[in-house]
């Protein structure tokens, strides 16, 4: 087996901690706390490739931002370092006393798809089996839960039927509500390989034209929220074309006739679909015909489908089309949910969602009894707990008094995030297990902060989108007093008197128990069965190769696909097609909130940036929080491109930079989710998002919140670069970012030039400073030089004439750059030549201006750019963007 091929002596095989593609990584520690990172050519998910985020993992291993010791909040609201013994006793005593006076249901755990399966398993077991609270939910509620609800409702179990190989073998790939090029880049490369090698077609369904759409054959910019109507119409079309697989449906499906009748009501014909989706009838007809005539079709989706008040119906509508045609579980076809987090799937497997119990079992009485007997649980929860948004309401209303948050940043990522943060701050007992010392959730001042092991230090398993279980292996020692999350949970369990059920000798021991539970009284009736791993010892666990579940005892090599021959996990072993609720569209705008705010991700940042924010490379692609606005709306609302705007919803507000978004429809806005109270003065996008949830899944509608927008003007704009943090005048707008050798802030302010000059003079020695003040022109430039190197800089200009950030940043970042001419630098020109512009290729640090220049000089394709500049030749995440840059001048020539 290739997976046993010899490695360079010190490389550790592990898995990327970011997205659900679950790429294999080879990490070679450098002995100084860092590591060289490479793709694992033998991992079936990526075969050696990594995207920009995976490639930059080595830049995120520093300890500067980490919490390294248990901390306890003191009366003054600051923190004292305490020992583990004191911390664990205090947490256990606090939980015990709240359970004693208010009952176990006053306690909640809020977990995360960034925990390892083993951490997740023990946390869920402690809360649901031993403390006796059902209120365990996870950030996967915000991410996957509509898919879980639909798959359980339709398949009878939360099973992803297909495998990544289906993307290699499909003739048509439909991406619904998924910016795959940026969010699952390595899988997107596989799709592009299929497009180039086998001429597969790619269709993108997204109201916004994304980087993914740049590389697609057909783009349907449907109205937000209208996916269910589009797929109901497809079902009607398939039936009309006689393409229903009658034999598959007769043998393996119930509810077909009612579902078709319901689809005919929702979407009787293409004209009706056109009204619902706002798409031209020809485009709908072309899409339907392509889908109908291509048996090997994969329909994949993520947050544009899940994060929606109709998410469960949207997913069901997709599943219905695949079931009706029997295009499921066979090579090259099937419905495919792209999971977000590295272990979103593992969390579902252990039962981390509030409506699940454990090992894909829910709360049916026999399931509760089975899990109770297996765990020998004294206080098993007997009914579903509160889902994330309701859970936070219960915290706000003091029905929940204690909460333990692990590996997620809810004060930033929940909808109505200002309210969530205030609710957390009011808990009687608030415990956070974290990697970092500071984030928005920690700003709500937990009573205890418990230092948890981070990627590279922790050991366990994760499951990717295709059900593949892979090991994350430690290659760095635990720093300070940091401990693995599972250890922390088990130590608290012991102190609560549950020691006998939590005496694990290591992660392998927990995994072996989890595997045994999956097989316990299973008999093939439950999808999640990894019985072949029950009782695995440490040596076998350490050797574990990536494998797709189910892995029952009789099938140790795992299972690539399910359901080609039925075998669903409902009582009758049939899939249950269900009529949809009449699809409601996304929330309505009104005169107060006339626009719909869509939120999502950018290529090089991960969520609230606690890790990607440490990487200068990743911070160079998109440097500041912005809102993309259709040019017509820029004019309509009196905005200025490159200026600022305040967005407000019924829940909260933020001030963002205005970017002209050609790809954003009129009436819509798009803002990234990544900036928080940590990294920007006023850009907490979660504060605006509405807490409206899908009625079945409880997943909040994060993609369509009614908002208003209004221009905000500042007198000056500028940036500051420094080796140490630098405080700006209090009322300034700013965004902070990692820069090689220090940090940078892009800012805007009304403060006078003299106020900023005074700040610099306070901070730095006069003899190291060179200043250029132009009061008439309204600009101020200051460089601080030490031993010929740029040690700090502050540039300020009148708003709209922001000085050349990229040039000065490059000088600041380059350890070899000596500044021979201060005046050249202060003039904003690079000592070495021209301004690089924002980084496009993060791997080789190639800027926008170089790529533009190469196209202008005659390069015709992204491949030629690769040959000339190397841009796009490593991870390829920037290829869609390079193509777009190349298309611009040619498009305008053609016009």
Chain center to CA of 768? 43
Smallest separation, CB 520 to ligand SF4 (Å):
32
For residue 785, state whether it binds Mo ion (rule: CB under 5 A).
Answer: no
Of positions 186, 216, 279, 344, contacts ligand SF4 by CB under 6 A = 186
Nearer to ligand MGD, 355 or 610 (CB): 610
E-assigned strand segments in 399-484? 402-406, 429-434, 448-451, 460-463, 468-472
Of positions 60, 117, 610, 699, contacts ligand MGD by CB under 6 A = 610
Nearer to ligand MGD, 15 or 749 (CB): 15
For residue 60, state whether it binds ligand MGD (rule: CB under 6 A).
Answer: no
E-assigned strand segments in 392-474? 402-406, 429-434, 448-451, 460-463, 468-472
Smallest separation, CB 55 to ligand SF4 (Å):
7
Of positions 143, 148, 577, 794, contacts Mo ion by CB under 5 A = 143
Of positions 26, 35, 51, 204, contacts ligand SF4 by CB under 6 A = 51
The residue written with tokens 């109201």 in the block is 207
Say how many Å lie between the first and final Cα of the chain, rounded.
Answer: 55
Task: Residue 50: name its binding partner from Mo ion, ligand SF4, ligand MGD, none (Cβ under 5 to 8 Å by kind).
Answer: ligand SF4
Binding pattern for the stretch 11-50 against ligand SF4, x by CB under 6 A and - elsewhere: -----x-xx-xxx----------------------x---x
For residue 342, state whether it binds Mo ion (rule: CB under 5 A).
Answer: no
Task: Residue 43: name its binding partner from ligand MGD, Mo ion, ligand SF4, none (Cβ under 5 to 8 Å by kind).
Answer: none
Of positions 22, 39, 129, 224, contacts ligand MGD by CB under 6 A = 224
Tokens encoding 11: 């490389």
Of positions 340, 456, 616, 837, contacts Mo ion by CB under 5 A = 340
Q: Binders of ligand MGD among 363-422, rule CB under 6 A? A: 406-410, 412-413
- Please count the other Cβ atoms lying within 10 Å of the Cβ belonging to residue 732: 18
- Please count the other Cβ atoms lying within 10 Å of the Cβ belonging to residue 771: 16
The per-residue b/e assignment along 511-544, b for 16 or more CB within 10 angstroms, e otherwise, is bbbbbbbbbbebeeebbbbbbbbbebeeeebeeb
Task: Residue 224: name its binding partner from ligand MGD, ligand SF4, Mo ion, none (Cβ under 5 to 8 Å by kind).
Answer: ligand MGD
Could you tell me whether strands 626-629 and 668-672 are parallel, antiparallel, or unpaired per DSSP bridges? antiparallel
**Rounded to 5°, angle at Cα 587 from 337 and 596:** 90
Smallest separation, CB 34 to ligand SF4 (Å):
18
Smallest separation, CB 290 to ligand MGD (Å):
17
Smallest separation, CB 634 to ligand MGD (Å):
19
For residue 206, state whether it binds ligand MGD (rule: CB under 6 A).
Answer: yes
E-assigned strand segments in 435-523? 448-451, 460-463, 468-472
DSSP string, 712-771: E--SEEEEEEESS--PPPTT-EEEEEEETTEEEEEEEE-S-HHHHHHHHHHHS-GGGEEE
For residue 456, state whether it binds ligand SF4 (rule: CB under 6 A).
Answer: no
Task: Residue 402: name its binding partner from ligand MGD, ligand SF4, Mo ion, none (Cβ under 5 to 8 Å by kind).
Answer: none
Give the side-chain half-sphere CA count within 13 A for 188: 28
Euclidean distance between CA atoms 19 and 343, whole angstroms: 8
Nearer to ligand SF4, 19 or 122 (CB): 19
Binding pattern for the stretch 639-658 against Mo ion, x by CB under 5 A and - elsewhere: --------------------
List of residues 6+ apart from 410 with CB closer than 8 A: 110, 139, 388, 392, 417, 420, 424, 441
Task: Residue 232: name its binding partner from Mo ion, ligand SF4, ligand MGD, none (Cβ under 5 to 8 Å by kind).
Answer: none
Nearer to ligand MGD, 28 or 439 (CB): 439
Applying CB under 6 A, the span of 179-187, 206-214, 406-414, 849-857 interacting with ligand SF4 comes to 179-187
Euclidean distance between CA atoms 140 and 313, whole angstroms: 18
Nearer to ligand MGD, 65 or 570 (CB): 65
Query: From edge to edge, which strands make up the β-sheet containing 716-722?
Result: 733-739, 742-749, 716-722, 789-798, 779-786, 769-774
Give the residues across from 448 on adjacent strands: 72, 431
For residue 606, state whether it binds ligand MGD (rule: CB under 6 A).
Answer: yes
Q: Which stretch of DSSP H or E encloses residue 576?
A: strand 575-576
Nearer to Mo ion, 160 or 266 (CB): 160
In a 3-state reduction of DSSP, which class is residue 448?
strand
List of residues 6+ apart from 792 with CB closer than 8 A: 720, 721, 722, 723, 726, 742, 760, 763, 764, 783, 784
For residue 845, state whether it binds ligand MGD (rule: CB under 6 A).
Answer: no
* 373, 378, 380, 386: CA torsion to nearest 10: -160
Task: Residue 529: name its binding partner from ligand MGD, Mo ion, ligand SF4, none (Cβ under 5 to 8 Å by kind).
Answer: none
- Chain residues binding ligand SF4 by CB under 6 A are 16, 18-19, 21-23, 46, 50-51, 53-54, 184-186
- Chain residues binding Mo ion by CB under 5 A are 143, 340
- Chain residues binding ligand MGD by CB under 6 A are 19, 112, 114, 139, 142-143, 176-180, 182-183, 205-208, 210, 224-225, 227, 302-305, 307-308, 340-341, 406-410, 412-413, 433-436, 439, 452, 454, 458, 485, 598-601, 603, 605-608, 610, 673, 685-686, 689, 702-703
């Amino acid at each position: 087996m290739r997976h046993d091929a010899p490695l360079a002596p010190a490389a550790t095989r592990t898995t990327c901690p970011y997205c659900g593609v679950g790429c294999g990584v080879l990490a070679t520690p450098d002995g100084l706390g860092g590591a060289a990172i490479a793709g694992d050519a033998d991992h079936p998910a990526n075969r050696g490739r990594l995207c920009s985020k995976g490639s930059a993992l080595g830049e995120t291993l520093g300890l500067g931002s980490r919490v390294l010791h248990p901390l306890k909040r003191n009366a003054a609201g600051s923190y004292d370092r305490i020992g583990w013994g004191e911390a664990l006793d205090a947490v256990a005593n606090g939980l015990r006393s709240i359970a004693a006076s208010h009952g176990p249901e006053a306690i909640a755990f809020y977990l995360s798809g960034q925990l390892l399966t083993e951490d997740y398993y023990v946390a869920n077991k402690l809360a649901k089996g031993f403390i006796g609270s059902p209120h365990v939910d996870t950030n996967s509620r915000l991410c996957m839960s509509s898919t879980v609800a639909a798959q359980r409702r339709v398949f009878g179990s939360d099973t992803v039927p297909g495998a990544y190989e289906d993307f290699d073998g499909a003739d048509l790939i439909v991406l619904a509500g998924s910016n795959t090029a940026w969010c699952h880049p390595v899988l997107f490369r596989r799709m592009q390989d299929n497009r180039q090698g086998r001429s597969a077609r790619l269709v993108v369904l997204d109201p916004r034209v994304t980087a993914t759409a740049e590389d697609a054959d057909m783009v349907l910019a449907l109205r937000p929220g209208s996916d269910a109507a589009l797929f109901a119409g497809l079902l009607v079309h398939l039936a009309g074309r006689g393409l229903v697989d009658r034999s598959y449906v007769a043998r393996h499906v119930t509810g077909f006739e009612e579902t078709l009748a319901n689809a005919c009501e929702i979407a009787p014909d293409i004209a009706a679909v056109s009204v619902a989706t706002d798409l031209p009838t020809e485009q709908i007809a072309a899409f339907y015909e392509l889908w109908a005539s291509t048996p090997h079709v994969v329909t994949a989706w993520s947050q544009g489908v899940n994060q929606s008040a109709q998410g469960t119906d949207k997913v069901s509508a997709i599943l219905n089309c695949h079931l009706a045609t029997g295009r499921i579980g066979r090579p090259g076809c099937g419905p495919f949910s792209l999971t977000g987090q590295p272990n979103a799937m593992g969390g579902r497997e252990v039962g981390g969602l509030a409506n699940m119990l454990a090992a894909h079992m829910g709360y049916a009485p026999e399931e509760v009894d089975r899990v109770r007997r297996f765990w020998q649980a004294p206080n098993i929860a007997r009914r579903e707990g509160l889902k994330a948004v309701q859970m936070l309401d219960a915290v706000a209303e003091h029905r929940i008094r204690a909460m333990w948050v692990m590996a997620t940043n809810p004060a930033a990522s929940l909808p109505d995030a200002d309210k969530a943060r205030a609710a957390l701050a009011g808990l009687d007992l608030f415990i956070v297990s974290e990697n970092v010392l500071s984030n928005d959730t920690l700003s709500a001042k937990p009573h205890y902060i418990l230092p948890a092991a981070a990627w590279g230090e922790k050991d366990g398993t994760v499951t990717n989108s295709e059900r593949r279980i892979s090991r994350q292996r430690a290659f760095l020692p635990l720093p300070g007093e940091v401990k693995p999350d599972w250890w922390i949970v088990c130590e608290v369990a012991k102190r609560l008197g549950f020691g006998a059920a939590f005496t694990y000798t290591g992660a392998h021991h927990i995994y072996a128990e989890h595997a045994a539970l999956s097989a316990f009284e299973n008999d093939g009736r439950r999808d999640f069965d990894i019985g072949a791993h029950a009782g695995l010892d440490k040596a076998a666990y350490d050797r574990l190769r990536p494998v797709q579940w189910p892995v029952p005892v009789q099938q140790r090599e795992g299972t690539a696909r399910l359901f080609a021959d039925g075998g669903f996990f409902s009582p009758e072993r049939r899939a249950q097609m269900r009529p949809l609720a009449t699809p409601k569209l996304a929330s309505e705008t009104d005169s107060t909130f006339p626009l719909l705010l869509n939120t999502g991700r950018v290529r090089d940042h991960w969520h609230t940036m606690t890790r990607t924010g440490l990487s200068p490379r990743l911070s160079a692609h998109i440097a500041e929080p912005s809102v993309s606005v259709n040019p017509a709306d820029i004019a309509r609302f009196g905005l200025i491109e490159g200026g600022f705007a305040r967005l407000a919803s019924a829940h909260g507000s933020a001030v963002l930079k205005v970017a002209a978004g050609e790809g954003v429809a009129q009436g819509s806005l798009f803002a990234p989710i990544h900036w928080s109270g940590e990294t920007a003065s006023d850009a907490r996008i979660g504060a605006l998002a509405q807490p409206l949830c899908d009625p079945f899944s409880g997943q909040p509608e994060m993609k369509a919140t009614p908002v208003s927008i209004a221009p905000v003007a500042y007198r000056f704009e500028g940036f500051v670069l420094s080796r140490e943090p630098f405080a700006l005048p209090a009322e300034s707008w700013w965004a902070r970012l990692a820069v090689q050798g220090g940090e940078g802030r892009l800012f805007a302010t009304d403060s006078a030039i003299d106020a900023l000059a005074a700040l610099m003079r306070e901070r730095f020695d006069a003899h190291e400073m060179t200043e250029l003040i132009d009061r008439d022109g309204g600009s101020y430039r200051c460089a601080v030089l030490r031993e010929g190197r740029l040690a700090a800089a502050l540039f300020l200009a009148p708003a709209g004439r922001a000085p050349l950030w990229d040039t000065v940043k490059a000088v600041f970042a380059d350890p070899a750059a000596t500044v021979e001419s201060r005046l050249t630098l202060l003039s904003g020109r690079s000592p070495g030549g021209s301004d690089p512009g924002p980084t496009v290729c993060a791997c080789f640090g190639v800027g926008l201006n170089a790529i533009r220049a190469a196209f202008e000089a005659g390069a015709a394709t992204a491949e030629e750019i690769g040959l000339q500049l190397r841009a796009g030749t490593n991870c390829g995440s920037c290829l869609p963007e390079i193509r777009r840059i190349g298309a611009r001048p040619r498009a305008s020539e053609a016009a």
